[in-house]
Chains A and B, each alone.
Chain A
Amino acid sequence: MKITVTVNGDERTADVEPRLLLVHFLRDTLGLTGTHWGCDTSNCGVCVVWLDGKPVKSCTVLAVMADGHTVRTVEGLADGATLDPVQQGFVRCHGLQCGFCTPGMMMTARWLLDHNPDPSEDEIREAISGQACRCTGYENIVRSVRWAASHEREVAPR
């Protein structure tokens, strides 16, 4: 089945089987391997991408369901060579160790800051509560998101 999905602003057309999952479409068909694939059971959140502007678990969405819709992945965060403030926060505050959970965490964090520019620690923890990190203990992830929030408010208000 022929589908056209707008991924990070570009229209991408491909012939896919209806049973192909969005996460595999992004990684294998389009080569966008920034989106990770973990539990395969909608529990771990490493596969989180935006579908029509909202974070979703792409291991539980069919690629054909995204036909005619808009997807944003971690590759669509940076503006050219300039990292998104959320990415900068993860760099500065050691928000990652192995990096496996990081793309999903950053996509959710970006969405959170777009809707709540000054989230409390609790609000950040709630937002990422469907996503697992096995390395950081979450402490530095929260710090990274808070850094991005204050950076955006002070340095580059949107």
Chain B
Amino acid sequence: MQVPAHFEYERATSVDHALALLAKWGSEARVVAGGHSLIPMMKLRLARPEALVDINDLEELAYVRLDGDALAVGAMTRHADLLASPLVGEHYPIFHEAERVIADPVVRNRGTVGGSLCQADPSEDLSAAFAAVGAAAVIRGPDGTRQVPVREFHTGPYETVVAPGELLVEVVVPVRPGGWRDPVQGAQRRDRFEAATGGISERSERGWQGPGGGSAYEKVERRVGDWAVAAAGAAVWLDGDTIGDAGIGLTAVGAAHFHAPEAERFLRGSPATDAVLAEAGRIAAEHCEPVADQRGPADYKKHLAGELTTRALARAVKRARGEA
């Protein structure tokens, strides 16, 4: 029987209360969200916090909504709710494709978006998906709120920029194709997009809309519900037949920050042809350093990194063209 070591339990009733509880217990406190990574670690005594701060009652952090020109996902959004969100499906099918293969439906009822990112497991799926789309993490602490790009969020296996006493509260995803949180960059991207397409993007209440953006996720697992042997997420924005911008996220293959910047740079400005997408996969794989484990040998994972990147890119391009 696996039993955690003794700890004190505190339940937060608001974000401010959670921050106060974290301040009270200092570095020996841990936040518990869905608990589906932390509780197993505590049962194995791999984690022995002195106090748990339970944030499951913070309904204020459970949402998926459009916030200006960005998709905002609250940290306490359960996997099942991200999967069920039509808003997510409309703007970023990559998240539905990733969620469909994260764990199983019962685990997805409990595990959260925030817990997944903060756990920073090297095989975690959402980190790759959020890295691909260029999301930012919103972190609250005693001194206020800061934003960190997801591509800079992970500092190592099981390590993130979230300091003791801080809480991840939201993940924001710029909405395609002109929708970027940075107003200057956003306007530039929109203008470029509109010049390329004859100004057919329209500003609606739902943010910047128009053809040109697509995303997809590809994962290979040993059996249903398992962690990835390897997985890749891709987001593509087209200017006609040219790739205006691309994002690639990778998991379980030893890609630094779950990210493939070299392949992205190669894609920008290139034509969206099969040969180009295959070359991007090759470049992405080249920069991965997978380790052999019970899920497979390193060379196989490297092979998958390239192949899955190319497949995800191909489907993202199809979606960007409105063909899928």
Which residues of A come within 8 Å of B, CB atoms?
Answer: 1, 17-19, 21, 40-42, 45, 48, 51, 54-57, 60-62, 64-65, 67, 108, 126-127, 129-131
Please report the C-alpha to C-alpha distance between residue A48 and residue B108 in the assembled complex, in whole angstroms. 13
Size bracket of the B interface: 20 to 34
Whether B3 pairs with A129 at a CB distance below 8 angstroms is no
B 80-124 to A, binary, CB cutoff 8 A, 1 in contact else 0: 100000000000000000000001111101100000000000000
- Tell me how far the C-beta of A113 lies from the nearest C-beta in chain B, rounded to whole angstroms: 14
B 223-236 to A, binary, CB cutoff 8 A, 1 in contact else 0: 01100000000000
Q: Spot the interface stretch: B4-12, B156-164, B276-284.
A: B4-12
A41 nearest CB neighbor, chain B only: B40
Instruction: Indicate whether B56 reaches chain A with its CB closer than 8 angstroms.
Output: yes
Which residues of B come within 8 Å of A, CB atoms?
Answer: 1-9, 11, 32, 35-36, 39-40, 42-43, 52, 54, 56, 80, 103-107, 109-110, 224-225
The answer to whether residues A131 and B1 also contact, given A40-B43, A42-B40, A65-B54 and a CB cut-off of 8 A, is no
Please report the C-alpha to C-alpha distance between residue A55 and residue B39 in the assembled complex, in whole angstroms. 17
Please report the C-alpha to C-alpha distance between residue A20 and residue B110 in the assembled complex, in whole angstroms. 18
Whether A48 pairs with B39 at a CB distance below 8 angstroms is no
- Tell me how far the C-beta of A64 lies from the nearest C-beta in chain B, rounded to whole angstroms: 5
Whether B103 pairs with A18 at a CB distance below 8 angstroms is no
* Number of A-B contacts defined by CB within 8 Å: 76
| Chain A positions within 8 Å of B52 at CB level | 18, 62
| Chain B positions within 8 Å of A131 at CB level | 104, 106
Return 12 A-B CB contacts under 8 Å, by A number: A17-B6, A18-B6, A19-B7, A40-B43, A41-B2, A41-B40, A45-B104, A56-B109, A56-B110, A61-B35, A129-B225, A130-B107
Whether B8 pairs with A18 at a CB distance below 8 angstroms is yes
- Tell me how far the C-beta of B281 lies from the nearest C-beta in chain A, rounded to whole angstroms: 29
- Tell me how far the C-beta of A86 lies from the nearest C-beta in chain B, rounded to whole angstroms: 16
In this complex, the member of B3, B35, B80, B109 whose beta carbon has the largest number of chain A beta carbons within 10 angstroms is: B109
Please report the C-alpha to C-alpha distance between residue A126 and residue B8 in the assembled complex, in whole angstroms. 37
